[in-house]
Structure 1
Amino acid sequence: MTSDLSLRGRSGPRWYRISVGPSVRLRVQARVLWVTLALVLLALAACVASLTVGRLGIPLANLPSTLSGQGASIDAFVLDRLRGPRLVVALAAGAAFGLSGALFQSVTRNPLGSPDIIGIAPGAGAGAALVALLFPSVPVAFGALGGAVLAMGIVYVSTGTGFKSPSRLVIAGIAVTAMATAFIQYIVYAIERDQATVLSSYLNGSLTARAWSDAATAGVVLLVCVPFAWALSRPLTASEMGQDTAASLGADPRRTYTWSIVVSIALSAGAVTAAGPIAFIALTAPQIAKRVTRGTGPHLASSALTGALLLVLADMAAQNSPVFEKLPVGVWTMALGGLYLGRLLFAEWRRGIL
């Protein structure tokens, strides 16, 4: 790995050239690289803490043997049935939410832009509610996936231009969100109390009783979508310079925007299917990543890592809080995200954007 100075001069940021084999060469800003490595280390530390902290945690000394399959039976049970699937779902879903939000905010050029705004999460919740009412024996995750896809289709048709206009997309998403929320409230009111309790936990975003199948769902979505997101990174960076500049560099802004929104929706729908409509991770993770890296472009890798770290930490709080122990993790993210959103709105108002 070699380094060079950027073209912005001696006072500008430092860059690294990273070669992976003969054909893959990356040029990464030094601060972005070190922040990304720090986020990886923090995420690993959070994973260890998630598995070891708390009443049912695996003792730290036993963790290596348990991970290698040679631990005590009770530690193996905690890893295989309780903490392991929950942790993997938190990592994968958090990364998917963060990456989804980074793509959407890059397209809209708006820090308030989020897949939550365009009705994906409420649509998934409405689908889950409908399945709980009509097909109680069917897992609500199937309904969530169908609801997310249907919401995406309604938004696509109602804009009149597909995914090409970010402003129309947001307006249509707000309408879909309102309709889906009203439908969810009706279903919760109509079904029996026990079903309503289970459904309410899912709709708030819960990682309780996650299985390896949920982890596989979120993992497959990431594996499929990450290569597309990676391919869109450079065109998105060019598009942030303006459509004329992007076109001169060989990028097609409209096609880039369309595919970015499609990938963003797929990531969000997959995360909601695995973990429920957990709010504000897609909104806050890209903004935090942007502020700590101070780099240019959509900040895809750092946003995904920040989303994973935030969701793992929020789930640790949900598991170990002595006062609010039984609250779903989505309630924690809503509380923290609401505070962050208020701060962001105030900052945008002071800048005269709102």
Structure 2
Amino acid sequence: MSALAPARRRASLLGLTLLALVVATALATLTMGGLGVALPDLPAGMIDVARGEATGKANFVLGHLRGPRLLVALGAGAALGASGALFQSVTRNPLGSPDVIGVSAGAGAGAAFIGLLMPSATSIVLGSVLGAALAVGLVAVSTGTGLSNPMRMVLAGIGVSAMAYAFTQYVVYVVARDKATVLSAYLNGSLNARGWDHVATIWAVLALAVVPLALLSIPLGLTEMGDEVAASLGVHSGAVRRRAVLLSVLLAGGAVAVAGPIAFVALTAPHITRRLARSARPLLGLSAVTGALLLSAADLATQQVPVFDGLPVGILTLAIGGVYLGALLVSEWKKAT
């Protein structure tokens, strides 16, 4: 027990630090800029919005403009962080993510197809969910072993992603040129014009996932020690992986449904968390908080940094993820030499 105490203290301290940064980012989102609500007026404004009694600036900013957008960013980021942690644990690959098995590409293709037939915000969300589910179904069928073999899942996912991406580009650039602007914003990942229906969707997904995440944490840690070790402790690795993949897809699909295919958060959040905590175990909760911080901070930048003004948040997270991975590769190369 004494050997575990430093790791637990480090994880607890990291969790408190991440939560403090999330709160600071949320406050900055709601208070900065000409449209921001002054910090002393924020508590009363939030209470009024919750009661449905807000008027004037507080109602516009907290109830319509920034409040729902912030809650969607936090929820989608948390879902992507937890989803990535699950997938990296299942594949035993710290650089894996749900995107590898075609979740984002399938969601984008579904959004493009349904959005072409029934062009509306609701249809695009529906299309993204159906597309993600279809992509995972194709991967499960293509592997011949369902969702229990990580390597086959990755290989099948590459093929499914390529086909989905090709279909999306065909729809956007050939069939639906007049709707390309709307679809392009969604397919890059965007938090613009989010509403309370989006908030309800993503937080309902998170609520459904909380208990399964808690129940999977210990079995996932045991499967990372090897199938034989897990089996000796009464854990069926194949069943644990299947549940983890399905839960990962649910979380990623929920995030894609409300914000589009946000790039790199599912990949980098769990990786950053493990490095900061210096842990080999899947840190599902901390990864979720890191994901919420990454996405909300990136969205804050798109609102307040002039050079990023109006940029879909998914493009910024793509740039951040690319820089992080580049720095990581350079660091590993220096260690190797």
Instruction: Tell me by how many angstroms 1:190 deviates.
Output: 2.5
Instruction: Tell me by how many angstroms 1:61 deviates.
Output: 1.8
CA contact (8 A) 2:74 2:292 kept: yes
TM-score (norm 2): 0.94
Aligned partners of 1:175 and 1:198: how far apart in 2?
27
**1:114 corresponds to:** 97
Larger RCO: Structure 1 or Structure 2 (Cα < 8 Å, ≥ 6 residues apart)? 2
Aligned partners of 1:55 and 1:284: how far apart in 2?
32
Aligned partners of 2:225 and 2:176: how far apart in 1?
54
Aligned partners of 1:192 and 1:100: how far apart in 2?
32
Instruction: Tell me by how many angstroms 1:142 deviates.
Output: 0.7
Matched, 1:207 2:191: yes
**1:65 corresponds to:** 44
| Cα shift readout 1:197-230 (whole Å, capped 9, x = no counterpart) | 0110000000000011011110011111121111
**1:277 corresponds to:** 261
Matched, 1:86 2:69: yes
Equivalent position to 1:145, from 97, 104, 129: 129
**1:14 corresponds to:** 5
**1:131 corresponds to:** 114
**2:311 corresponds to:** 327
Matched, 1:51 2:30: yes
Structure (1/2) with the larger strand percentage: 1
Consecutive unaligned residues of structure 2, counting only runs of 5 or more, are none
CA contact (8 A) 1:29 1:295 kept: no
Equivalent position to 1:154, from 109, 124, 138: 138
CA contact (8 A) 1:62 1:71 kept: no
CA contact (8 A) 2:100 2:157 kept: yes
Structure (1/2) with the larger helix percentage: 2
* Ranges of 4+ aligned residues in structure 1 off by more than 2 Å: 190-194, 341-352
Query: How many residues end up aligned between the 2 structures?
Result: 331
Identical pairs, percent = 53
CA contact (8 A) 1:65 1:71 kept: no
CA contact (8 A) 2:111 2:126 kept: yes
Instruction: Tell me by how many angstroms 1:342 deviates.
Output: 2.7
Aligned partners of 2:243 and 2:166: how far apart in 1?
30
Instruction: Tell me by how many angstroms 1:54 deviates.
Output: 2.0
Consecutive unaligned residues of structure 1, counting only runs of 5 or more, are 16-27
| Cα shift readout 1:263-307 (whole Å, capped 9, x = no counterpart) | 001110111001110010000000110011113410111100000
